[in-house]
Structure 1
Amino acid sequence: MANELSAKMNGISPEMVKRFSDNNRAQGLNQTIKNAIMKNGIDAATENNAAIVAMNQVFSEEIKTGKVTNQKQSGRCWMFAALNTFNHHLTDLFNLKDFELSQNHTNFWDKFEKSNFFLESIIETASEPLEGRLVSHLLSTPQQDGGQWDMLVSLVQKYGVVPKQVMPETFQSERSGRLNAILNTTLREDALKLRSLHSQGRSQEEIQNVKEDMLADIYKILSLSLGEPPTAFDFEFRDEDGEFHREQGITPQAFYQKYVGLNLDDYVSIINAPTKDKPYGKTYTVQFLGNVVGGKPIKYLNVDMETLKQVAINQIKDNESVWFGCDVGKYSNSQYGIMDTDLYQYEEAFGFPFQMTKAERLDYKSSIMTHAMVLTGVNLVEGKPTRWKVENSWGEKAGKKGYFVMSDKWMDEYTYQVVVNKKYLSDDLKAALEQEPIELKPWDPMGSLA
């Protein structure tokens, strides 16, 4: 009887539905808006033309860059964005045009290292209950395309980089879904075996030997799907002045040092996470997040948004592009190449506001970092930014030949991370960066991968 009463009180009743329908009619539901949404979809029907006009692709500070890259049907934006910043540096130094480093080379080693990182995490948590939140979290995605800046640093410092011509894209590098499915199926089977060995009381040496055999299978899958990375190669190119250059038998590590040469230890991840559990001026890391065992740990310095934007502006002014992470799906249009909180008039159409703050969106899973791109320009009016130029990695058909424009208000609300040279930080922030990072849980919003 109590359950029946509860259902009557808490369930959706016909009377409730009638009341809602009557309210629509009483409030004069706009039939024109209804027809427009039903025929064209929410975004097209609520598009704000004034916002499109305002997002002019002209910037007071702008870095000269070339043709955009295309990650195609893969989630490697973080990798493309990072290598794009290297491309800009390399092409300036060596007078090249539209040069690309191999994303597939970095992708191979990332997937191989992520597989080992996962297996090591399974061994480390072998005593944890299978149904517990931690092991369940690890098993939900053994490896994936996404990543973080510090993960890229670990790969480059260990494996170097190569020109795209040396290790070009393959079917599966550009369409990663099937490869990811096979890798994750294999890794989950491996996790079962490793946990079983632990429960049988096998020694760590025996478990590590079994893990090595598992990695041999992963290497084979990757070699068949992506090709095998070179240990050395010849680099030949003709610069913009027509001069021919040849470098024979160079290793990927030596290639990075000679042709890119950036000291990646000088670059730091600055975030804006305005939630109560993450005070500004503190550093943070995320448990069980990474790719290279023993590589560069994930480390963020949390600052207010004005500070984050200023360090990015300073680097752009010095003619160096900026890797950044954001929630690209919010108030954005890939056809126009616009990211602007005024782009769609949802509130006017539906008659009620969307009022969550940036912190509340993070806390309630309404927004996380989903994509990484590169800042290549900013428009300053009396020293303050109004809009930003963004190099994407979705090919030339998106935006203006692949470039997007982002309003400063959108930057405030949906950008979470930039990577800059630490020389742009104040002395106070440099000191804060040296703090031992506070550990966040693996499922924290700042553990999301671009």
Structure 2
Amino acid sequence: MGKAIDPDWAAQEASDFAQSRANRIARNAVTATNVMQAARDTSAMRTYHDTYGISVPKTAEITNQRQSGRCWMFSAMNVARHATMKYLDVDTFEFSQAYGMFYDKLEKANAMLERIIATRDLPFDSREVCYILDDGMSDGGYWPFAMNLIKKYGLVPKDAMPETACSKSSSEMDAQLERLLHRDAGILRKAAADGVDEDLLHAQKDEMLDEVYRVLAICLGEPPQHFDLEVKVGPACQAEESKISEVAPTPKDLGAKGEDEDKAAKPVRILRDFGLTPLEFAAHYVPFDPDDYVNLVSMPGDTRPYGHVYHLTLTDSVIDGTPIRLLNVAPEVLDQAAIASLKAGIPVSMSCDVMQNFPRHIEDFKYVLSLDGVDMDGLFDVDFDMDRTSMLDMRETSLTHAMTFQGVELNEDGTPKAWRIENSWGKEQGKDGYLIASAGWFHLYGGEVIVKREFVDDETLKMWDELPAEDVTPWSGLAAGFAKKRL
């Protein structure tokens, strides 16, 4: 046993602490206002401005994942909807995240039980089985989870399957799903121990999914098999003209006048397409290729060399879907790929450890993510400094939250100075739903972007296409930082 704390030492520490004026001031500030408010450096924060030399020209209304861990789904759909907005010539659009959540949970339940069958010969307290049981039904996920759902089940507009109490606040639904799946896992493992063959175990699993579907339908509503698309569209809408009609009477019929007479005279146009399936909607109105993206991460360290592609075992949510592939490269590669995409007017899905140095609940500058805006070292007179490699090794940081780059301000040498980030926590959070992240903050606490192939340099793209993925367990040092996004 190690050496115990001496009470006399603690008493001396108390005496020494009280004699320091800085300690007393810091104590009074923190106990009255909490840590982040006391540590904020307004002189530094006010140097960050919400202006960007490169910005996606048309961004939609801010989304809100509420009290659920679906950030990865919102980020992916916020990228995909950009293509739909351009196709329909509309200022905003939103896909149904409840529809995606329904099938995500159903697929995760299937994957969890399949893994329980595959590990039936391992002890119940083995690390593999514990991970499957602990993480199987979480809200968290990765970009490929969303892409597999789009390819398999399509998409629907939000009004075709709106949010419910359980999609907005998922903990109660998740608790019942976890209980059900834990029960089912125990039944399958007992059956395997009793000598039931694998075919019969899979048959049992299929019956168990009936109950999972029922729980999901009760909590989220039944996902639509067909729906009617009716939406106002702009003059540059690329849909079939036969499906578009003008609202009568038109402004021109009414003799509209004004300073902007041309604009006033434009008729209102409505696109109507009846009886669509979700796959038909995705094919016709979402010109977005889920297979056209490269998943870049930057995870430095001796056990995480750059130039390698990794696959996390026990993690893919859709059996026989596209597996997770993560290409580890230097942070500058992520920067330049994201900049190239934004220059083309296409938003970028990104991930970071969002709660690091995030003054989310302070009154002023609650939207600034920077390395100099929050002075914890000065507040506590403690050196908290860690480099990114050490933080990954010691489990101090991981990619906890997915959002979307919508703009970037560049330095004179073309490197990023600050990023404009679209969040999915509603308009009231941050600055009208957006955050500002300094380039230094993203290098230290960021670490993932997903971009179209055309925006990746040739050398990196060659590695992505040709390198085999190396399997790593989710708990290994090699996988440090690759946590599921779930905030």
Deviation of 1:26 (Å) = 5.5
- The secondary structure found in structure 1 opposite 2:160 is coil
Matches of residues 284-433 of structure 1 in structure 2 within 5 Å?
Answer: 284-334=310-360, 336-382=366-412, 383-433=414-464
What is the alpha-carbon distance in structure 1 between the residues aligned to residue 86 and residue 359 of structure 2?
31
2:73 is the counterpart of 1:42:
no
Q: Counterpart amino acid of 1:57?
A: D
Structure 1 residue 72 corresponds to structure 2 residue 102: no
Deviations 1:226-273 (CA, angstroms, capped at 9, x unpaired): 011112211111124521111111111111111112111110110001
Counterpart residue number, 1:438: 470
- Separation in structure 2 between the aligned mates of residue 105 and residue 62 of structure 1, nearest angstrom: 30
Report Cα offsets for 1:181-227 as digits up to 9, x if no partner. Answer: 00001101111011111111111121111101110000000001101
Q: SS in structure 2 opposite 1:30?
A: helix
Structure 2: which 5+ runs fail to align? 236-267
Q: Using the TM superposition, give the Cα deviation of residue 142 of structure 1 relative to its aligned residue in structure 2, in angstroms.
A: 2.3
Alignment of 1:26-425 (within 5 A): 28-63=21-56, 64-240=58-234, 242-334=268-360, 336-382=366-412, 383-425=414-456
Q: CA deviation at 1:65?
A: 0.4
* TM-score of the pair, normalised by structure 2: 0.89
Alpha-carbon shift at residue 25 of structure 1 (Å):
4.4
State the Cα distance separating 1:381 from its structure 2 match.
Answer: 2.1
**Is this contact kept in 2: 1:332–1:343, CA < 8 A?**
no
- Once the two structures are superposed, what CA deviation does each residue of 1:283-321 show, in whole Å capped at 9, x if it has no partner? 000011111100010001100011111100000100000
What is the CA distance between 1:446 and its match in structure 2? Answer: 4.3
RMSD of aligned residue pairs (Cα, Å): 1.3
The alpha-carbon distance between structure 1 residues 166 and 293, as it changes in their structure 2 partners (threshold 3 A), is: same
Bigger mean CA deviation after superposition, 17-26 or 416-425: 17-26
Hey, what's the Cα distance between the residues in 2 that align with 1:30 and 1:212?
62
Match of 2:257 in 1: none
Partner of 1:18: 11
Q: For 1:107 and 1:268, how far apart are their aligned partners in 2?
A: 23
Contact 2:298 2:329 in 1 (8 A): yes
* SS of aligned partner of 2:46: helix
Q: Is residue 351–residue 403 contact of structure 2 (8 Å, CA) maintained in 1?
A: yes
Tell me the distance in 2 between the aligned counterparts of 1:341 and 1:119: 43
| 133-142 or 333-342, which deviates more | 333-342
Q: CA deviation at 1:51?
A: 2.6
Q: Could you tell me how far apart the structure 2 residues matched to 1:355 and 1:53 are?
A: 23
Where does residue 264 of structure 2 map in the other structure? none
- Three-state SS of the structure 2 residue aligned to 1:234 is strand
One-letter identity of the residue aligned with 1:322:
V
Maintained 8 Å contact 1:122/1:191: yes
Q: Give TM-score, length-normalised by structure 1.
A: 0.96
Take 1:352 and 1:225, find their aligned partners in 2: how far apart are those partners? 48
Aligned pair count reads: 443
Contact 1:51 1:340 in 2 (8 A): no
Alpha-carbon distance in 2 for matches of 1:127, 1:50:
60
Following superposition, the deviation at residue 113 of structure 1 comes to: 0.2
SS at match of 2:158: coil
